[in-house]
């Protein structure tokens, strides 16, 4: 992720399912109590995502999920708040904070989907 923006906004024209999706995501690194925007992480760093949603979920609540892929396109991690943590959000929620870590990934380029 070196050289990329730590704030990503999706173009609605690139979204297949436009009814409800991550519209904007901000990436931060957390070390102790300190947080800073970055796209470069080291082993044992904590990744924080501030995710903003666009659209409306189909039901009264939703469970955000995403995947992390390595530079070869291989799935290396998946996160789902409902199935894995029993955490669902009211459909009125438009912004969530997602904390991932400590990171145990090897040195590579990764993508969030």
Residue 98 falls inside a structural domain: yes
Residue 33 falls inside a structural domain: yes
Question: What total number of domains does the chain contain?
Answer: 1
Residue 30 falls inside a structural domain: yes
The pLDDT, as a whole number, for residue 97 is 93
pLDDT digits (tens, 9 = 90+) for 40-96: 877 778 889 999 999 999 999 999 998 888 888 888 888 899 998 999 999 999 999
**pLDDT exceeds cutoff 60 at 3:** no
Mean pLDDT is lowest, of 42-46, 86-90, 97-101, 109-113, for 109-113
* Furthest CA-CA distance within the chain: 40
Residue 75 falls inside a structural domain: no
CA distances for 57 relative to 74, 78, 86, angstroms: 28, 20, 18
Residue 72 falls inside a structural domain: no
Residue 79 falls inside a structural domain: no
CA 30 – CA 11 distance, rounded (Å): 28
Question: For the whole prediction, is pTM greater than 0.85?
Answer: no
Residue 81 falls inside a structural domain: no
Residue 31 falls inside a structural domain: yes
Domain of 14 in residue numbering reads as: 7-63+86-107
């Amino acid at each position: 992720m070196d050289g990329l923006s730590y704030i990503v906004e999706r173009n609605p024209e690139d979204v297949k399912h436009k009814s409800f999706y991550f519209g904007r995501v901000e990436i931060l690194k957390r070390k102790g109590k300190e947080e800073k925007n970055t796209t470069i992480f080291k082993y044992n760093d904590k990744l924080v995502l501030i995710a903003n949603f666009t659209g409306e979920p189909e039901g009264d609540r939703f469970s955000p999920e995403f995947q992390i892929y390595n530079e070869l396109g291989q799935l290396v991690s998946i996160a789902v708040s409902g199935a894995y943590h029993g955490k669902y959000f009211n459909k009125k929620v438009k912004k969530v904070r997602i904390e991932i870590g400590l990171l145990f990934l090897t040195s590579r380029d990764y993508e969030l989907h």
